[in-house]
Amino acid sequence: MNAKEKMERARTLLILDHCFFGHLAMKLSLSEDDTCKTAVTDGETILYSPKYIDELELQKCVGLNAHEIMHCAMGHFWRGEGKEDYKWNIACDYEINGILLKENFELPNGALYNPAYDGLSAEQIYHLLPETPQDKRKEGQGNDPGKCGGVVQGKGNKNEIEEKKANWKASTAQAAQMTKKQGEMSNNLLIPIYDVLNPPLPWHTLLRDFVEKTARNDYNWLRPNRRYISNGVILPSLISEELPEVCIVIDTSGSTSDIQGDFAKEASGVLSAYRTTIRVLYSDAQVHLEETYASDDLPIKLKPVGGGGTSFVPAFKYIDDHRYTPSCMIYLTDMYGTFPNKEPEYPVMWVTNNDEKGPFGMTVKFNTPKNI
């Protein structure tokens, strides 16, 4: 069996034995390339070295095909925009090889795997990896540090990449749905695929949506919206967005100190779009300080106060005792502390730097750009 026949046989075995991978395998054409050291994909073709494939056992060839398919299903050819290619390939291999091994695929010898990276995204792994030595910073289709199939980023213009991205997302979603209906989709495979198809919104986008739900829009029919007049549609213009008082609580127990500056900057950016008053409370086991800002006073300049144990009760009690009526509360905390027994009448958004959830209100995870 020559290299071409072995690759085609490996694809047939995927179609017969692995519904999810078999469905996606036909999206990638196969092409021999003597300049390729192992194999590589750009989201359209799997280029492979005939010599490398000749020396590969059939089941490991099946694993290599599954590996390249996962590069595409996980969006590695577009998620790595702006990242150093060699290091990105390593991060992507760590992300998918753990999944493939748990799906009982055999991978080529030397395939990268580290159990410490199980469950982490390629972006998270990328930031944990050391910088690539200068002599390894090579570009081209032979760049496969993981030795079981690389991925080429950004082939084509922006529109072509976006079209390829949309096609792969649609095909991957369809493959996952079909496989799940047949009862063959494990959570080991389903969860990371779902995360790629349904990426969480940035926390500041969720914050903006949260705030907008409590804002009051004032419209003026005497000044029509010019955008729609040319189409014969008369709509009122938006005079301003007024937002009743917003309360921001900073957990000063110390666990969020590394993100407080970024949090204040992002929150200030969102709230500056409204005419409102922002009341900032600094609290751990008690409220230490209260500050008020008008929209024109932003950005929020945080004060280093507190540093004791954490209880969320004092901040809510403080608002009740002073008879404040906030439109909403935004509470920055690690979520470790005592919660009130009763949910307040105003909506609450918990912003946290870990995976804990609040007993009421909306909980969002704060991610700084460096952590993606």
| 40 against 235, higher pLDDT | 40
Give the mean model confidence (pLDDT) for residues 94-106: 96
Q: What is the pLDDT of residue 227?
A: 44
Q: What is the pLDDT of residue 225?
A: 44
Give the mean model confidence (pLDDT) for residues 65-80: 94
One domain for residues 83 and 224: no
Tokens representing residue 112 in the block = 């990268």
One domain for residues 325 and 187: no
One domain for residues 39 and 186: yes
Please write the tens of the pLDDT for every residue from 119-176. Answer: 888 988 998 898 887 777 665 444 788 888 999 887 778 888 889 999 999 999 999 9
How far apart, in whole angstroms, are the C-alpha atoms of residue 239 and residue 223?
9
Q: What is the pLDDT of residue 8?
A: 96
- Total domains in the chain come to 2
Q: Tell me whether residue 31 is in a domain.
A: yes
- Which of 19-23, 83-87, 234-238, 347-351 shows the lowest mean pLDDT across its residues? 234-238
- The percent of residues above 70 in pLDDT, for the chain, comes to 89
| 134 against 55, higher pLDDT | 55
One domain for residues 124 and 24: yes
One domain for residues 230 and 268: yes
Please write the tens of the pLDDT for every residue from 329-361. Answer: 999 998 989 999 999 999 999 999 887 889 999
| 154 against 107, higher pLDDT | 107
One domain for residues 210 and 187: no
Q: Single out the residue of 203, 283, 276 nearest to residue 246, CA to CA.
A: 276
Q: Check which CATH number belongs to the domain holding 254 and give it.
A: 3.40.50
Q: What is the pLDDT of residue 243?
A: 80
One domain for residues 140 and 211: no
Cβ neighbourhood burial of 37 (10 Å; 0-12, 13-18, 19+)? middle
> Taking CA 188 as the corner, what is the angle to CA 183 and CA 193, rounded to the nearest 5 degrees?
90
One domain for residues 172 and 219: no
Q: Tell me whether residue 371 is in a domain.
A: no
Q: Tell me whether residue 370 is in a domain.
A: no
| 82 against 100, higher pLDDT | 100
One domain for residues 260 and 286: yes
Q: Tell me whether residue 20 is in a domain.
A: yes
Q: What is the pLDDT of residue 137?
A: 67
Q: What is the pLDDT of residue 340?
A: 95
How far apart, in whole angstroms, are the C-alpha atoms of residue 62 and residue 152?
20
Q: Tell me whether residue 372 is in a domain.
A: no
Q: How far is CA 333 from CA 114, 225, 347, 349, 354, in A?
A: 31, 41, 16, 11, 9
Evaluate if residue 266 carries a pLDDT over 50.
yes
Q: What is the pLDDT of residue 319?
A: 97
Q: Tell me whether residue 147 is in a domain.
A: yes
Q: Tell me whether residue 113 is in a domain.
A: yes
Please write the tens of the pLDDT for every residue from 239-253. Answer: 445 788 999 999 988
Which range marks the domain in which residue 227 is found?
Answer: 205-365
Please write the tens of the pLDDT for every residue from 191-238. Answer: 888 878 877 677 877 888 888 877 654 444 444 444 444 545 444 444
One domain for residues 225 and 171: no
One domain for residues 244 and 328: yes
Q: Tell me whether residue 316 is in a domain.
A: yes
- The percent of residues above 90 in pLDDT, for the chain, comes to 52
| 143 against 281, higher pLDDT | 281
Evaluate if residue 311 carries a pLDDT over 70.
yes
Q: What is the pLDDT of residue 80?
A: 86
**Residues in a beta bridge with 207:** none
